[in-house]
Amino acid sequence: MSISYNGLWKLLIDNNMNKTDLMNEVKLSSGTIAKMSKGEPVSMLVLEKICDKLDCDFGDLIHYEKKEKVGDELG
């Protein structure tokens, strides 16, 4: 499984922000931003803080991308 934060990165662009701005305004650690940049999970509290700042919902930030297992083919 993989988590995509593409929605968050798009919201940052829409709000004329970068990752450093988000880190400073939401009080996130650089490690948390690094995890998100790699598609790794972060706590719901982190997502809640971001949603409060950007006035959005969890679904606006993240997307679950299921990885296919080797041998799992459609059809």
Written as one letter, the residue type at 60 is D
State the pTM of this model.
0.83
CATH code for the domain of 18: 1.10.260.40
Residue 71 lies in a domain: no
The pLDDT value given to residue 71: 65
Residue 37 lies in a domain: yes
**Measuring CA to CA, how many Å separate 18 from each of 8, 10, 12, 66, 68?**
10, 10, 6, 27, 32
Q: Domain range for residue 51?
A: 2-65
Query: How far is it, in rounded angstroms, from Cα 20 to Cα 71?
Result: 41
The pLDDT value given to residue 2: 85
H or E element: which one contains 34? Answer: helix 30-37
- Tens of pLDDT, residue by residue, the chain (75 residues): 589 999 999 999 999 999 999 999 999 999 999 999 999 999 999 999 999 999 999 999 999 988 776 665 665
Query: How far is it, in rounded angstroms, from Cα 50 to Cα 56?
Result: 8
The pLDDT value given to residue 5: 97
- How many domains, in total, are found in the chain? 1
Residue 70 lies in a domain: no
